[in-house]
Structure 1
Amino acid sequence: MVWSIQAITLPIFFASGLALLLALEQVVRKKPNTANLLFSSIFVCCAIILWGAGAVANSLPPKMPLTIYLFFTAICCVGPLYYFYFTLLLHPEKRFSPRSLIHFIPAIGAFCAETGFQLLPLEFKTAWLSEMFIQPPKHALMILVVIGAVHAAAYISYLLKMDLGLVWNVKEVKNELRGMLVIDVLAILCVVALYIGFTFKILWLFHYGGLLLTVLTVSVFLGYNRYPGFLQLLQEEFEKKRYEKSSLTHVDVSAINESLHKLIAEEKVYTDCELNLAGLADMLALTPHQLSEFLNERVQTDFRSFINSFRVEEAKKLLVQEPDKNVLTICYDVGFGSKSTFNNVFKKETGQTPTQYRESALSPQTA
């Protein structure tokens, strides 16, 4: 019986090595881009998860606690990484802000917990893990198991929804997209099988989950080599669909850019505190929707942020060039409707309040 358990887990360890090889293949390219690095990170996580699943299936952690290190961290990382990769694939111009790191809060928590646990005495670790394998549902470590399972399933479900939308809208690669749908569904089943199998000590179900993850890894490897241009083709088709639906299709974008620059740089329309999206769109002979799309797609910002950035730049100049003018007057001169809004936006852009900025800018001159 012991040998049969070990034999059935050999493909899991094989897939772990294959996933690591796929990860290396992405980073050893001549010029790896962000997508390559994200894809590589996904495979690293898969390699760790597969290794951990194989170790648990063979009851190795109670004997060698290090065999399960980073298992839960990888589970919490793979969902966000896949989400960022897919988003970058469909929106290559997108730039992720530091706020995007919120997706990795569970992973950071899991990493701290796992690292702290590995630093404990070996006797304690082996005893604690032995207890978990005897009564999993009652063990404190099940908190990480539940968080990891729910976290991974939530992201995969969201991506499944995105894939469903693509299947209906991108006809040219429908067969390949159906394959992605199958992978998403199997990934969810894999998470469920591993979770239930481990929690309730259903060994065959846990093995099933590990082998299913093995099949997924091999399928991705074969599919990636069978359709090497699929991801690029998907991106091109998505861009084509987005262009067809764009409200700027028959608009001279360069002319809009030139007119907008003139309104901002020469006429300083942003100093009008009553200026709104509809008003600026009317000056450019556009609809509000067209201007909004232009700012979002071409300038990578929204109307409020776009206008406020020029107001702040103008305020920075006035604060230094006209030291005798009070802050409230400058606030209204550059187009803000209230001092509180002025202070909040200015501090968000510069890290200082207007008064602090003026003091720091003028202090060398005073000296």
Structure 2
Amino acid sequence: MLTHIGIEITFFGFGLCLLRAFESILSSKKIISMPVLFYVFNSFILLGTGLVALGLPLEYPSSIFLFPSSLLIIGPLNLFYYHYLLYPGQPVLYRTHLHLVPFFLCLFVEIFFQVQPFAFKHELLTAFFNGRDGHFLIVPFAFISLHVLVYMLIILKVFLLDTGFKKNQREFHFIGSIALVVFLIVAMLFFGFVFDIPGLFIGGSVLNVCVHIYIYLGLRIVPQFFNSLKMEIRKKRYEKSMLSGIDTAAIHEGLDNLMREDKLFLDCEISLSSVARRLSLTPHQLSEFLNEHKGSGFHDCINRYRIEEAQKLLMEHREASVTSICYRVGFNSKSSFNTAFKKITGKTPTEFRQR
């Protein structure tokens, strides 16, 4: 009876996450954004957990499509979502593509599995569900569980480095309690599934739903939570800033002169260290300046100057091809030029020229 109630709560959590994703789409007017991805993949996890608890994958193997992949992407998404909440509008400094490698590998394996004959899928899943602790699939299942835990530790580390909070502060309790519960959820799901304890397994899923409700209500009861967190982080970062004692206005002017007068951005081999050297800064200082005062990374900053130059050339030299202008302003491929141009202007180079 309790297991069935737990499954119902799990499906309620699935619906709640989808509603939160829809709410994020309406508020941001973007179909794909960090909050949307965060809630969509969390909904896949809750849906998959509920279906596994019902034993549905044995009869309908396609019902758990994206469940393993969602578990592998939720760790990186938690990290990116944390960055999104505390540093809105600033680019993610983590090497995004490396964090997503396990997800895409798993997604490839899932697609390969789903296109196999039904008999093969049914036989493999039946063997796994009936001999869980001794089946070879328990190894990737354990890796996925460990993957989630490692990312929770990374988020905790980033949080503490960002803030240096003492353990008696409210924000530490909020983040710390979520981290502890996530560890408990992963343990309950893993051991509940491996040792075939339905109550433990579905209990972990119910706890997962409770975390989402806790965060949802908590941020509405204490809406200033992230504002106070941002203020504390700014204070902490200022204390350890590498720009202390440096005239940032002079850096801004010097950088602008290098780009607009010397047009350093035309060099396709331009690098952070070469520009920093011209400004008498270290690469770390220039990187911090760009992130703190320009709200972008080095390459995004350079591309903005390149696209600005390209816009002038497209209008002043209509006889010149888009490709020639692409290389003239410092890009080394037309595809990267088109991508950067559309990202900054909202139009392709051809559309911009035809306006």
How big is the alpha-carbon RMSD for the aligned residues of Structure 1 and Structure 2?
Answer: 3.9
- In structure 2, what is the equivalent of residue 226 of structure 1? 221
- In structure 2, what is the equivalent of residue 23 of structure 1? 21
Residues 108/166 of structure 1: CA separation in 2 closer, same or farther (3 Å cut): same
Residues 180/264 of structure 1: CA separation in 2 closer, same or farther (3 Å cut): closer
The CA deviation string for residues 144-190 of structure 1, in whole angstroms up to 9 with x for no partner, is 3123112111111111223344563489x931441121111111221
Instruction: Find the partner of 1:100 among 76, 88, 96.
Output: 96
1:167–1:177 contact (8 Å) kept in structure 2: no
The answer to whether the aligner puts 1:79 opposite 2:75 as a matched pair is: yes
Whole-Å separation in 2 of the counterparts to 1:61 and 1:208:
20
What TM-score, normalized to structure 2? 0.70
1:160–1:185 contact (8 Å) kept in structure 2: no
- In structure 2, what is the equivalent of residue 150 of structure 1? 146
2:68–2:106 contact (8 Å) kept in structure 1: yes
- In structure 2, what is the equivalent of residue 335 of structure 1? none
The answer to whether the aligner puts 1:189 opposite 2:171 as a matched pair is: no
Residues 145/29 of structure 1: CA separation in 2 closer, same or farther (3 Å cut): same
- In structure 1, what is the equivalent of residue 210 of structure 2? 215
Tell me how far 1:290 sits from its aligned partner.
5.7
What amino acid does structure 2 have at the position aligned with 1:350?
N
What TM-score, normalized to structure 1? 0.68
Residues 202/176 of structure 1: CA separation in 2 closer, same or farther (3 Å cut): same
What amino acid does structure 1 have at the position aligned with 2:132?
P
Q: Which has the larger radius of gyration?
A: 1
The CA deviation string for residues 288-308 of structure 1, in whole angstroms up to 9 with x for no partner, is 986674366446567xx99xx
Instruction: Find the partner of 2:137 among 122, 135, 141.
Output: 141
Residues 261/65 of structure 1: CA separation in 2 closer, same or farther (3 Å cut): closer
2:251–2:279 contact (8 Å) kept in structure 1: no
Whole-Å separation in 2 of the counterparts to 1:70 and 1:289:
39
Q: What is the SS of the residue equivalent to 2:58?
A: coil
- In structure 2, what is the equivalent of residue 11 of structure 1? 9
**Mean Cα displacement is larger for which, 92-101 or 122-131?**
92-101
- In structure 2, what is the equivalent of residue 54 of structure 1? 50
Unmatched tracts of structure 2, length 5 or more: 268-272, 307-329, 335-355
Whole-Å separation in 2 of the counterparts to 1:129 and 1:264:
60
Residues 240/182 of structure 1: CA separation in 2 closer, same or farther (3 Å cut): same
Instruction: Find the partner of 1:64 among 39, 60, 66.
Output: 60
The CA deviation string for residues 249-277 of structure 1, in whole angstroms up to 9 with x for no partner, is 55442233324555787789999xxx989
What amino acid does structure 2 have at the position aligned with 1:75?
L
Whole-Å separation in 2 of the counterparts to 1:221 and 1:164:
22
What amino acid does structure 1 have at the position aligned with 2:196?
K
Whole-Å separation in 2 of the counterparts to 1:201 and 1:277:
59
Instruction: Find the partner of 1:242 among 215, 237, 258.
Output: 237
Larger RCO: 1 or 2 (CA < 8 Å, sep 6+) = 2
2:42–2:70 contact (8 Å) kept in structure 1: yes
2:3–2:198 contact (8 Å) kept in structure 1: no
What amino acid does structure 2 have at the position aligned with 1:13?
F
Whole-Å separation in 2 of the counterparts to 1:102 and 1:278:
27
- In structure 2, what is the equivalent of residue 120 of structure 1? 116
What amino acid does structure 1 have at the position aligned with 2:56?
L
Whole-Å separation in 2 of the counterparts to 1:63 and 1:84:
36
Whole-Å separation in 1 of the counterparts to 2:188 and 2:41:
18
Residues 287/176 of structure 1: CA separation in 2 closer, same or farther (3 Å cut): closer
Residues 301/117 of structure 1: CA separation in 2 closer, same or farther (3 Å cut): closer
1:72–1:144 contact (8 Å) kept in structure 2: no
Residue identity over aligned pairs, in percent, reads 32
Whole-Å separation in 1 of the counterparts to 2:59 and 2:107:
21
Residues 351/96 of structure 1: CA separation in 2 closer, same or farther (3 Å cut): farther
Aligned residues: 303
The CA deviation string for residues 125-145 of structure 1, in whole angstroms up to 9 with x for no partner, is 223222211101333433431
What amino acid does structure 2 have at the position aligned with 1:29?
S
- In structure 2, what is the equivalent of residue 355 of structure 1? none
Residues 207/31 of structure 1: CA separation in 2 closer, same or farther (3 Å cut): closer
What amino acid does structure 2 have at the position aligned with 1:146?
A
**Mean Cα displacement is larger for which, 43-52 or 159-168?**
159-168
1:164–1:181 contact (8 Å) kept in structure 2: no
**Mean Cα displacement is larger for which, 94-103 or 21-30?**
94-103
